Amino acid sequence: MLTDTAALLMALLAVRFAARRPNSRHTFGYLRLTTLAAFLNALALLFITVMIVWEAAHRFLAPQPIAGWTMMSIAVAGLVANIVSFWLLHGGGGEKNINLRAAALHVLGDLLGSVGAIIAALVILYTGWLPIDPLLSILVSCLVLRSGWRRLRESLNELLEGTPLQFDIEKLKREMTRNIPEVRNIHHVHL
């Protein structure tokens, strides 16, 4: 929950600062802060995912006693908080903003983790089978890892001013030279 709070705070601060007007020191403004926040959130998500897998591997080797009802209570509280956070992030046009998508992905990862913890708590309470907890931790981590990696690559590409993935520069150049009579050749394209 602490990482969710940090991710949401970073996303919110980036949105607030990005809204500032350009000035003589930052002539393009601060909009790139949202991409930087997305990159940092994706990086943090990947780091946390690796740490969860590491911890789960240790719990496979040396199972620890688990307080099932405490685990269930915390997981349900986390699930409710993550559902509200995810809903708030998607209510603000988050599907177009890489920063909000990265924060939503962070929250979604924890939401899935809460669902996994609830399932694990139920299995532990009713069967006493402790390996379910690290097993579900690894499963949820694998689900989050792919999306986190994609968000990291997307934000890094944007930070490095790479060509958006949906554009094919060569195809665009061909279409422009064919369809615009005044254009004979295109030498240099920035997207």
Domain regions of the chain by residue span:
2-160, 165-191
For residues 128 and 19, what is the distance between their CA atoms, to the nearest angstrom? Answer: 52
Q: Please answer whether residues 15 and 124 qualify as being in contact, where contact means their C-beta atoms are separated by less than 8 angstroms.
A: no
pTM tops 0.95: no
pLDDT for residue 122:
95
For residues 32 and 38, what is the distance between their CA atoms, to the nearest angstrom? Answer: 10
Handedness of CA 156, 165, 18, 45 (dihedral sign): negative
For residues 66 and 52, what is the distance between their CA atoms, to the nearest angstrom? Answer: 16
The correct answer on CATH 1.20.1510.10 for the domain covering 2-160 is yes
pLDDT for residue 91:
64
Instruction: Average pLDDT across each block of 10 residues of the chain; the chain has 191 residues. List them in order.
Output: 77 87 89 90 90 92 87 91 80 65 80 91 92 93 88 91 86 91 87 80
